[in-house]
Amino acid sequence: MKKVIDRIFFLKKQHNAVVLAHNYQLPEVQDIADFVGDSFALSKKAKESKADVIVFCGVHFMAESAKILSPKKTVLLPARDAGCPMAEMVTVHDIEQLREAHPDAAVVCYVNSSAAVKAASDICCTSSNAVRVVRSLPNKRIIFIPDENLGSYIAKQVPEKEIILFNGFCTTHKRVTVEEVDTARNAVPNAKILVHPECTPQVVEKADYVGSTAQIIDYANRSTDEKFIIGTEQGVLHWLQAKNQNKKFYLLSQKLICPNMKKTTLKDVLNALENMTYEIQISEQEIEKAYGALDRMLNV
Ligand code: 13P
Ligand code: SF4
């Protein structure tokens, strides 16, 4: 494996490339990345980066967002078929129908969506800034797509607005059950339970803390508690455990593994840099429209 890693570092320099990895990636991929973060932090990094090439170790919509924010850069997705099922659950046609039914409402679109859907929305959000984004809008009514669970969480945090929900969901986070929360609490007494808002409202209700991937990591880093049950994708445990040797982390459910986030291997990263694959291609017109929704989010 050392040979593969050495070659990755050599090619990174040669192409003036930067490797961005989501917190849900395999540990060995996180370890060779220039920056590891949640989808919000990675969007910001992609925009600010001076590199010519971005190798995006994550899922398709994340690499697309990087391309929209940095259209002049070459953006590569090392595992071509790494998609997010939630992002496939909403279409532009759905947005048109929702707008027709609720003409006074603003459309807020979770970044877990296609470039076309972003282009048809008023503003994007990630789980890190969703509440802030919704609060920032003048509209009383908000159409929130596609994640119903995140939308329900926002509705609770922003009761002054009416949130019109859509029926999308994360195939990984939605599988966590209330029974698993109870079992984990009994198994590790005194542990804090931290969950992602893509979990069901029933699971969220039972947690000690609800936050995006970065917020969960931040909470665990700062806390004086010693044990944490993590209710988001397993990949975050790698970094958390490495940076907090005196603390113990447990995965809330063994189902918390996103198969798409685990598709990218070190060999795929090497292949991406050797062959400049797989390049994200979006039409200029779509980039222009989707850029507005993402850029408005970054400025909130
Ligand atoms: P974050 O916005 O927390 O990085 O989440 C992205 C994601 O895909 C969650 O499942
Ligand atoms: Fe999509 Fe869920 Fe995987 Fe995130 S964890 S990429 S929302 S399927």
Q: Kindly report, residue by residue over 177-194, the tens digit of the pLDDT.
A: 999 999 999 999 999 999
Which residues are CB-contacts of 224 (< 8 A; sequence separation ≥ 6)?
none
Strand order across the 123-125 sheet: 123-125, 106-110, 141-145, 162-165
- pLDDT over threshold 90, residue 1: no
Identical topology for domains 2-82+261-281 and 87-170: yes
Ligand 2 pocket test: which of 26, 40, 59, 81 has the largest number of ligand atoms within 8 Å of its C-beta?
59
Which residues are CB-contacts of 282 (< 8 A; sequence separation ≥ 6)?
64, 67, 68, 71, 115, 290
Domain ranges within the chain, ordered by starting residue: 2-82+261-281, 87-170, 173-251
- Per-residue pLDDT band for 98 (boundaries 50, 70, 90) equals very high
- The DSSP symbol for 125 reads E
pLDDT at 3 (0 to 100): 96
Determine whether domain 87-170 maps to CATH 3.40.50.300.
no
CA 195/CA 143 separation, integer angstroms: 24
Q: Kindly report, residue by residue over 3-27, the tens digit of the pLDDT.
A: 999 999 999 999 999 999 999 999 9
Q: Which residues pair with 195 in a beta bridge?
A: 210, 231
Minimum-distance ligand to the CA of 88? Answer: 2
Tell me the pLDDT of the chain averaged across its residues.
97
Atom of ligand 1 nearest to the CA of 213: 3
pLDDT at 40 (0 to 100): 86
- Per-residue pLDDT band for 164 (boundaries 50, 70, 90) equals very high
Residue 124 alpha carbon to ligand 1 centre in Å:
13
Residue 169 alpha carbon to ligand 2 centre in Å:
9
Q: Please work out whether the CB of residue 261 comes within 6 Å of at least one atom of ligand 2.
A: yes
Q: Kindly report, residue by residue over 251-287, the tens digit of the pLDDT.
A: 999 999 999 999 999 999 999 999 999 999 999 999 9
Q: Which residues pair with 229 in a beta bridge?
A: 193, 250
| Percent of the chain's residues with pLDDT above 90 | 98
Q: Please work out whether the CB of residue 212 comes within 6 Å of at least one atom of ligand 1.
A: yes
pLDDT at 43 (0 to 100): 87
Q: Kindly report, residue by residue over 100-149, the tens digit of the pLDDT.
A: 999 999 999 999 999 999 999 999 999 999 999 999 999 999 999 999 99
- pLDDT over threshold 90, residue 296: yes
Half-sphere exposure for 50 (CA within 13 Å, toward CB): 1
Residue 231, φ and ψ in degrees, nearest 5:
-105, 50
Q: Please work out whether the CB of residue 119 comes within 6 Å of at least one atom of ligand 2.
A: no
Q: Please work out whether the CB of residue 111 comes within 6 Å of at least one atom of ligand 2.
A: no
Q: Please work out whether the CB of residue 62 comes within 6 Å of at least one atom of ligand 2.
A: no
Contact indicator for 88, 145 with CB cutoff of 8 Å: no
CA 58/CA 78 separation, integer angstroms: 9
Fold of 173-251: Rossmann fold (3.40.50)
Which residues are CB-contacts of 208 (< 8 A; sequence separation ≥ 6)?
192, 193, 194
Residue range 86-96: average pLDDT? 98
CATH dotted code for 2-82+261-281? 3.40.50.10800
Closest alpha carbon to 127 in 91, 95, 153: 153
Helix segments in the chain, DSSP class H: 2-14, 27-32, 39-48, 60-69, 92-101, 115-119, 130-136, 148-157, 178-187, 201-206, 213-222, 236-243, 266-275, 284-299
